[in-house]
Chain A
């Protein structure tokens, strides 16, 4: 699941970014706002769609949790404990 979650997160982030960059090229340590220019609304949409894709309950996170997710790596780390293991 960790690699699947990482891939899912990259794909979902790419979809909400303006230029839809190659998911593989996204750096998990870069700041989502400063580097990728993600808006507050797109961050909500990104996490919502990622939770659904990763089968993580939307009730797991609050706005404070969202504020602490500054990088793609933060997002993956936050979702990983709640993501069902597959295979």
Chain B
């Protein structure tokens, strides 16, 4: 059973970051000391923080201009952990630092449905053995409270807010990856500030994103997928939606850089969801079975470089709830976190 800290983050941005950093200081310092946030285990060439500083600074400049509150929160994280400011920024930028090549396999199987009660569920497939770095953040943001799943000091990854918005994601590969807002921070900004699905989509369309991604947004009545490729966005909407790691928009699909064998895996996972059908929102057992069965479950083969399933979640935007299986969902014990557990001040009832 993985130990998953639950962190309540409230107050001004820097204070939220300091709280986060202090709570996980030992764990995050250990992670940073492990071949520089395990990047050395994943990259084809040695990595060191000094050589990454120009790239980190370029990304930070864009984030500071677009999302100043979150930039302050990252700086607070550094102070709380007691590390170099750039190290805390590196934690937000690991995916961009790794970049992509035609050997990147992609990660995550995500689906959402508003056919009955709304639900968004997904596996989280990551390399780097990150199942020892999971945390749940209970954030009192500037506009909304949210529950955010986090890995290794990330301010955002996926989650649900008190406006009834759930958001998940998939890696897709295409276009130029340039200094910009990491999609994980974009997701956190959506959770902090979006009142509606339309607002969430608008935010994702306007932000200068650093890397290609697909975002799954589920409100109480609408499910929308936003595919991002460079500065372009494609919007898909349906009562049932599923996404893996290849572009679904026909124009974007022509520019998909995923290699053919990873694309075959991606297609098989997508077909598995479509064949099974999306279970009713309240049918936790069926969701869990779907998320913890291959091919949707990607088991550990012992290779730290390989993306594998390190968590699975069911998000309920109508209930403000995250049901989480930390680690391999076929063996992990589930846990439930709900926004209703917290008062508006962010204190636990």
Contact = CB atoms under 8 A, between A and B. Distances in A.
Interface of A: 39-41, 43-44, 47-48, 58-59, 61-67
B44 A39 contact: yes
Contacts of A48: 259-260
A65 B44 contact: no
B305 to A, nearest CB: 8
Contact of B264 (A39, A41, A61): A61
Contacts of A58: 260-261, 264
Contacts of A41: 101-103
Interface in B196-251: none
Contacts of A67: 301, 303, 306
Interface of B: 44, 101-103, 105, 259-262, 264-265, 268, 301, 303, 305-306
B303 A59 contact: no
A65 B102 contact: no
A79 B102 CA distance: 22
Contacts of B259: 44, 48, 63
Contacts of A65: 261
Interface of A, helix, strand, loop or mixed by DSSP: helix
Interface of B, helix, strand, loop or mixed by DSSP: loop
A41 B265 CA distance: 17
A25 B262 CA distance: 31
A60 to B, nearest CB: 8
Given A39-B44, A62-B264, A62-B265, A44 B103 contact: yes
Nearest to A51: B260
B262 A63 contact: yes
A44 B260 CA distance: 9
Contacts of B102: 41, 44
Nearest to B260: A58
B334 to A, nearest CB: 26
Given A39-B44, A44-B102, A44-B103, A64 B260 contact: no
B8 to A, nearest CB: 39
13 contacts: A44-B103, A44-B259, A47-B261, A58-B261, A59-B260, A59-B264, A61-B261, A62-B265, A63-B261, A63-B262, A63-B264, A63-B265, A65-B261
Contacts of A47: 261
Nearest to B267: A59
Given A59-B264, A62-B261, A63-B261, 10 more contacts: A39-B44, A40-B305, A41-B101, A43-B103, A48-B260, A59-B260, A63-B262, A63-B264, A63-B265, A67-B303
Nearest to A67: B301
A40 B264 contact: no
